[in-house]
Structure 1
Amino acid sequence: MNKIKNIGVLTSGGDAPGMNAAIRAVVRAAIYYDLEVTGILRGYEGLINGDFMPMDRKSVANIIQRGGTILKTARSDGFRTFEGRKTAHEQLVKHGIDALIVIGGDGTFTGANLFSQEFGYPIIGLPGTIDNDLAGTDFTIGYDTAINTVINAVDKIRDTAESHDRLFIVEVMGRDSGLIALRSGIGVGAEAILIPEAKTGIEGLITRLEHGRKDKASKIIIVAEGDEIGGGFNVGEVLKERFPAYDIRVSVLGHIQRGGKPSCMDRVLASRFGVSAVEGLLHGKSGEMVGQINREIVFTPFSHAIKHINAEEISPTWLKLVEILSL
């Protein structure tokens, strides 16, 4: 066991449902192992500014069901510089914080990886991102809640689409990754899914619509915001020109996908990750992300975790499934 007495915890990047459950697990696991816990407000920016607060059991009472993050989150240009990271390290030493747990996604782990290498400082990461785009875990904290939010919204859109014989284009989050669009699109029975990883192209979509069933009362097309065509409104403009007879509407779900109470899966996943992160630090692990693969806890080096999943390899399989089910 390492001589760790005080663990700092922060959330960084975009918020994700289940972050509070992860914070709760970190705090309570640390207390279980007779450690102190320091909450760091507003991510790496708070780390640089020394915006710290001690945490105890009461600090995390009644938060497991809450969305967002009680520690707040913020982007930090300062942490992108060596000077900023040096100041952050000085703050940790000054406040007697021996190790750090960071909850976030790709950008968060990129910064953590640099920091760990530069200062030899113990850091463990928890994958908190709705995009599910990190290698080293089957699911990230927040992904399950986000796709269920999309499904609930699109189910409601389908009701009005059927009532008016409309084609709805629904844009979901996913600037660099289409995993939200893929899984939610299958879940809602979408006629087509457009994602950054699969170069379907507008002509492929048009072909699908031309050869699809004409008697369907409604059609739903799910578009990831990072699709090569440029998002939902661009797709809508092209289709309106090509299919003037269609009653086409565009709906952008936006940030509702980040909010809301975390699902049971996200609460349990976050809780398991939080405890494992504390135990990992106590056993000398550092520079790694906690994940779950085939139901087992694994640790993946930041350098590998931040290399996005190669969705190009899985997209054809998933998209073929969409094609079969949309007949």
Structure 2
Amino acid sequence: MQTIGVLTSGGDAPGMNAAIRAVVRMGIYRGLKVVGIRKGYSGLLAGDFVDMDLGSVADIIHRGGTILQTARCEAFKTEEGQRHAVEKLTARGIEGVVVIGGDGSFRGAVELAKRGIATVGVPGTIDNDIAGTDTTIGFDTAVNTVIEAVDKIRDTATSHERTFLVEVMGRRAGDIALSAGLACGAETILIPEEEYSIDEIVERLERSFKRGKRHSILVVAEGVGSAMAIADKIRERIGWEMRVTVLGHIQRGGSPTAADRVLASRMGAMAVELLLQGHSAKMVGIQNRRLVAIDMEDAVARPHRPDLGLFDLARILAI
């Protein structure tokens, strides 16, 4: 193998740039030519390639987002689009591709592998919703962003004796809400993996009120439903004044934490090594602090489940 490509696809995540840097520099160190593919699979179909060198990834390890940019691409999901992508890669002499992204990005990588292009996936998604790895690039940063915001909201909640609902990202996975809620001492955490009861939420709020607590924080993953609608239901039951904050895309941006920079650097470097060892359709994961190579097709097929032990712990500690 002489030439590899690297692309970022799907939603951006803090630490993607650190992973790109690791792929480029490890590739060059191992004697490879590295080509950046801009705007994910959309850029691949358009032939939007750029040769990468040591200088092209200088001073990016601390930056959020992705210097290669990212985009959704419906055309790549078709057989014609995938054949066209292989033609573009072959014409450029690219024999292997490192795909940095989430499960949708990995499904595309599996299709490239089936068509003879070696692929290795690096899990980059703030949702932490990839099976087979303990954590994904960007998750730690997103959780810390939520913690910082909720800590500030609690100051206001305490000052005004109000109940706040904070809606965080997580359409299909409640990991951000779970970890951030536990770390912030949220009185209630709602995640899509667990059913909730308005009656139970109201009972917890009233119990806290009776023991003298005049403010509460509820962290709601967006996959549960609208925090505004949930606040309205609670207000109808007990008549309290409720406040809702939707953190939105602020959770995607920002300088990656040390944990995400280190994880991305390790994973990006290992992805290059896996390609050189002849692997394809593999994902780099981390289990018990050790990097592992996982079958990519198996990883996207298996459902991700958060650590529900944290959910039970959060309920106990919020009594």
The letter of the residue matching 1:6 is: T
Please give the root-mean-square deviation of Cα atoms over the aligned residues, in Å. Answer: 1.0
Residue aligning to 2:12: 15
Aligned positions of 1:214-229 closer than 5 A: 214=210, 215-227=212-224
**1:233 and 2:225 correspond:** no
Aligned residues between the structures: 317
Quote the sequence identity (%): 55
Q: How far does residue 203 in structure 1 lie from its aligned partner after superposition? A: 2.8
TM-score, with structure 2 as normaliser = 0.97
**Aligned runs of 1:163-312 on 2, under 5 Å?**
163-214=159-210, 215-227=212-224, 230-244=225-239, 246-306=240-300, 307-311=302-306
Q: Provide the residue aligned with 1:59 in structure 2.
A: 56
Aligned structure 1 segments of 4 or more residues deviating by more than 6 angstroms:
none
Query: Distance in 2 between the 1:269 and 1:106 partners?
Result: 18
Alignment-mate amino acid for residue 250 of structure 2: I
Q: Which moved more, 1:61-70 or 1:288-297?
A: 288-297
Q: Which residue pairs with 2:315 in the alignment?
A: 323
Q: By how many angstroms is 1:310 displaced? A: 2.6
Q: Give the SS at the match of 2:223.
A: coil
1:36-81 deviation line (CA, Å, top 9, x unaligned): 0000000000001100000000000000000000000000011110
Residue of 82, 100, 106 corresponding to 1:85 = 82
What residue is the counterpart of 2:22 in the other structure?
Answer: 25
Supply the distance in 2 between the matched residues of 1:201 and 1:278 (Cα, whole angstroms). 48
Contact 2:7 2:37 in 1 (8 A): yes
Alignment check: 8 A CA contact 2:112 2:118 kept: no
Letter paired with 1:324: I
Instruction: Give 1:112 shift.
Output: 1.2
Return the letter of the residue paired with 1:53: V
Task: Please say which of residues 133-142 and 123-132 is displaced more in the overlay.
Answer: 133-142
Q: Distance in 2 between matches of 1:207 and 1:288?
A: 48
Deviation, structure 1 residue 222: 0.2
Match of 1:160 in 2: 156
SS in 2 for 1:31: helix
- Asked if 1:127 is matched to 2:127, the reply is no
Evaluate the alpha carbon distance shift between residue 210 and residue 216 of structure 1 in structure 2; reply closer, same or farther with a 3 A threshold.
closer
Query: 1:213 & 1:281 partners in 2: Cα distance?
Result: 58
> Is there any run of 5+ residues in structure 2 with no aligned partner, and where?
none
Q: Do the aligned partners of 1:102 and 1:123 also contact (CA within 8 Å) in 2? A: yes
Alpha-carbon separation, structure 2, partners of 1:247 and 1:179: 28
Q: Deviations over 1:116-148 (max 9, x none)?
A: 12x022000000000111112111000000000
> Letter of the aligned partner of 1:293 in structure 2?
Q
Cα deviation for residue 321 of structure 1 reads 0.8
What SS does the corresponding residue of 1:21 show, helix, strand or coil?
Answer: helix
